[in-house]
A = this chain, B = another copy of it.
Amino acid sequence: MNGLILRDATSEDLPQIARFFRAIVAAGETYAYPEDLDDQGIADLWLEQPPGRCIVAVNAEGMVLGSAKMGPNRPGRGAHVATASFMVAPEAQGQGVGRALGIEALRWARAEGYAGMQFNAVVETNTAAVHLWQSLGFQILATVPEAFEHARLGRVGLHVMYQRF
């Protein structure tokens, strides 16, 4: 997408993030997050603080089209493996926003010295995401069967995806 800017998120981005966060969670097809979060709850969950990071993808008009949070997948002795989560506003999907966010998350994690990146719960029927992550180097390590209650399809699997740096 022309003119897409990636930058660190600030608390002023929260209203725009919260709008698509709620739409995506309410759609019930991609994320196992609580559906009843107020803005503070979304901030606590999504606006990841150091050593992690939250970024937004913004168009030329300053509209937030997507966001990613990233950081250690586990504390302590698991903190050398990164994880990340991604959301793209429904009206901006299919335009490369997720790919741009994914590339930046991987660049950041490598630069921070992480040994790899793990996704813990990629909904197997979210094939656009699964294919995107595979194209960026991730492999499916396992699929936890029936671990996600999909709003339309019923219980579907959650992939654990991983790539070593």
Interface of A toward B, CB cutoff 8 Å? 25, 28, 31-35, 73-81, 115-116, 118, 120-121, 141-151, 155, 158, 160, 162, 164
Contacts and interface: CB of A to CB of B under 8 A. Distances in A.
A83 to B, nearest CB: 11
Given A115-B155, A141-B144, A155-B115, A121 B78 contact: yes
> How many identical chains are in the complex?
2
A148 B118 CA distance: 13
Chain A interface helix/strand/loop/mixed = strand
B160 A146 contact: no
B144 A160 contact: yes
Given A76-B34, A160-B141, A160-B142, A81 B147 contact: yes
